[in-house]
Structure 1
């Protein structure tokens, strides 16, 4: 059914688990190694009042008043828009989706819906119409309960107060859990939510008929509790190789004191964890850029198990994003085009009215006036002589990261006294200036790499320079 499945990895961080009190939700969009993404800003009132999905043919009437929001659509809408992530003008963030799998038993009673609401359309029909994360959970849940979905997915929501993780478990049934302020979660292509407390409306939301559905069809293997993952999800050998190691490495990074007995193939890894230390934006970026470095499982390392497990950052990452909320200045949509480990997260402030032209273009075949392809160009050049060139890339990444923090601090200070259009214009100028500077840094890196590569040709010989 689906033209594309985003085999992604996600992270959610509560405000008391972060070093600066911010809330972060982030995800790698993994589908194709060469499939350009754009970044856009939809203006207030821009969206049509009737939506037709190019993928599933679902038709929806939409509210007349749509909010401004950022998004990262595909380079072509032939199979749908796949806007994937963004922040709207009411400071609500959404990322969709984390693809997962439901088991055959539940799908036998509530099959996936061919003409339902899928990943392709979720951002487009939800984010412009919500004013809180809870409202986003409820709107998406209502739409899936009514129209169904053709995929099993996880969806991330956040605002300036809380973060939520939403999961579908069959054609129509769903649950959502609030991430505790002092905790984080990492998710990797499995249904993740565990025990549901149906009496705790502060921390759980759900399809109103899910308990009766499970009871009617005898779906719960342990009736003493209601474990969504065990009732609706899968637990097979493919999970042990594909999904669980990515959760394991997150726990090793952030909670090693608690995760000492966990292994890459542990099947009972908890959904929620408290970090051993406060987490920064760079911790979130490093998780989404991780490929098991420092372990025997690193595919670009020297260990014998380098391709045993599916890494978090890989060639098929189209873009990686972190939506940082509850900030003292403007909230930030961080975006890394291409492979996160070989790219740089560019901060776009919420409130910008436009993005630089290179971020709005890019198609197949490659074109070097596109942000996506500029980052990918440097990336593939580094790959050609990885151990020689990786230090040069790391130098650029470090410089750009420091420049980002400096620029953000200056911007936060400046916008304290700004309002309205002047504030939006300043945020746009600051974001776009950094974005262009970063593209220029990667263009310069690419030229340096090409220059160094000229002497790597196999048609080489130690020549006599006197001749």
Structure 2
């Protein structure tokens, strides 16, 4: 997963980059031009870590002198790794998209233990942002990244990278050569038009064509495996994933399961069963890419990144762990043991530990400053609001900008902390509060999408007159939307606190109600507590005895009047 930017990019102290090592983190989807409703290319990315603070990185374009050097710090530890020569010219980078609409995401697959701790000074996080600063196209980014690790050595474990420009979408997989060895072995494949792919902490490229302009690989990717004794067949049968990161139970259940959920929703006609995801059959392998049943919109891509395995056998909202309000989340650890048996929690795409995520939309029929949109969100993908950040903007919105807060310091000015506050209210009463949150989410994102054509029409008119005028206009627009989202979300959190305070629920008229738990939850409580909470049965009431009827009244007699004497 992507780490916080170090001082080489943000001028923040190196200590700000320190975060815990990843654990089955990050999910990325790739969508080719022919698979999108508007003819754009998409990649998506969720940067998942329990220690990651979500903010929008921004690095302006620069010119460097002939002797300028760049410090490289490891993104996992902040450790200084070394220095490399700077490029004469670097490009503006907004989050994970640069001013040429090049976008890059990733997920860590680690790979064989024997290949850990290679000799080198370029870690995978640095690869992403150096490539964004130095490349205009996806192919160029692959050249930059692979040349860097060949020249300066690789300092990370296995990685899958999503790399896309407005015309092409590529998947690059790379792993180091182990202790004492420099460089990396790698393979990259371009998505065919009309197809989508995804990766989530598991190497996915298996066999690949050896003579194809849309497939690139290191010269020793096969021979290195032969030297290690990991492969003995014909070159055409070589599988990168099976060799360098064999699939096991955890790889299928926790990693490929997320890919399966994207594929089964985008292409239901393929009828990909849960056996591709539940770990019961590691020999069942998903295809590298699939053709979606219909072309995807930006909002479709957002929806796929909000997946909780809903409606499948892995749906976490259906068992007792979901609590009374059907929460599709489980707190970590991911695996656990009780009474001598080992168990798992599911690892869905949408998860509580996301720092930031995005949907990158790249369009080749517009100037790059207008055509590239990084739909950016902080915190949990299911509960975030994807806000448009254009490739040409000159600064980040203040509430999303670097340095406003940190993982260890709360700030009401920080969009990350405001969204996290709302999310944690929602987790406690998911089935009720998520409805309120999603209503606000839909309203904001729906308005952004509805306004997009008009905003870009104005920007294009300005671009014809003066490109810088368009960039300033889009900067102001993106900043305004960022501020609006932050303000609306803080107000939402305040309203939720009032509405659901102390387990009550206020209706639209402000009246306090006390809705009971679902009957299924009451049954769980009854079974677990036995007689302890059971009220004694009320004594049976015997019918009251019939009343004895009063004797009938005698007819009233007139007093006898004695006759006069």
TM-score, normalization: structure 2?
0.73
Residue 21 of structure 1: aligned partner: 39
Residue 102 of structure 1: aligned partner: 111
Hey, what's the Cα distance between the residues in 2 that align with 1:103 and 1:41?
A: 35
- 1:116 shift after superposition: 3.4
Paired residues of 1:93 and 1:157 also in contact (CA < 8 A): yes
Q: 1:159 to 1:191 in 2, by over 3 A?
A: same
- 1:8 shift after superposition: 0.8
Q: 1:55 to 1:179 in 2, by over 3 A?
A: farther
Deviations 1:332-359 (A, max 9, x none): 0111100010111111011000122111
Deviations 1:155-198 (A, max 9, x none): 11111110111111333111111111211001111001122212
Paired residues of 2:398 and 2:483 also in contact (CA < 8 A): no
1:249 equivalenced with 2:292 (yes/no): no
- 1:10 shift after superposition: 0.8
- 1:455 shift after superposition: 4.2
Hey, what's the Cα distance between the residues in 2 that align with 1:51 and 1:215?
A: 35
Hey, what's the Cα distance between the residues in 1 that align with 2:243 and 2:454?
A: 50
Q: What's the secondary structure of 2:268's corresponding residue?
A: coil
Greater mean deviation of Cα atoms: 174-183 or 56-65: 56-65
Deviations 1:193-238 (A, max 9, x none): 122212102x111112223223333322643512211121121121
Residue 74 of structure 1: aligned partner: none
Give the root-mean-square deviation of aligned CA atoms: 2.5
Greater mean deviation of Cα atoms: 42-51 or 415-424: 42-51
Hey, what's the Cα distance between the residues in 2 that align with 1:292 and 1:247?
A: 11
1:326 equivalenced with 2:367 (yes/no): no
Q: What's the secondary structure of 1:120's corresponding residue?
A: helix
Greater mean deviation of Cα atoms: 242-251 or 47-56: 47-56
Q: What's the secondary structure of 2:446's corresponding residue?
A: helix
Deviations 1:76-104 (A, max 9, x none): xxxxxxxxxx2112221122x31003234
Decide which of 289, 293, 305 is 1:272's aligned counterpart: 289
Larger radius of gyration between Structure 1 and Structure 2: 2
Residue 90 of structure 1: aligned partner: 100
Decide which of 151, 164, 169 is 1:158's aligned counterpart: 164
Which is bigger in relative contact order (C-alpha 8 A, separation at least 6)?
1
Q: 1:192 to 1:330 in 2, by over 3 A?
A: same
Question: Which runs of no fewer than 5 residues in structure 1 stay unpaired?
Answer: 72-85, 463-467
Hey, what's the Cα distance between the residues in 1 that align with 2:211 and 2:138?
A: 20
Paired residues of 1:288 and 1:313 also in contact (CA < 8 A): yes
Decide which of 314, 319, 329 is 1:297's aligned counterpart: 314
Counterparts of 1:60-459 in structure 2, within 5 Å, are 60-71=84-95, 86-95=96-105, 97-104=106-113, 107=114, 111-113=116-118, 115-146=120-151, 147-171=153-177, 172-201=184-213, 203-220=214-231, 222-223=233-234, 224-261=236-273, 263=275, 264-265=277-278, 267-302=284-319, 308-326=345-363, 328=366, 329-360=370-401, 361-363=404-406, 364-419=408-463, 420-456=467-503
Deviations 1:403-443 (A, max 9, x none): 11122111121122222210001111111222211112211
Q: What's the secondary structure of 1:284's corresponding residue?
A: helix
Greater mean deviation of Cα atoms: 4-13 or 179-188: 4-13
Residue 526 of structure 2: aligned partner: none
Q: What's the secondary structure of 2:231's corresponding residue?
A: coil
Paired residues of 2:226 and 2:232 also in contact (CA < 8 A): no
TM-score, normalization: structure 1?
0.88
Hey, what's the Cα distance between the residues in 2 that align with 1:384 and 1:350?
A: 37
Hey, what's the Cα distance between the residues in 2 that align with 1:120 and 1:17?
A: 29
Hey, what's the Cα distance between the residues in 2 that align with 1:313 and 1:298?
A: 12
Deviations 1:92-127 (A, max 9, x none): 1122x31003234xx3xx553254322332233221
Q: What's the secondary structure of 1:137's corresponding residue?
A: helix
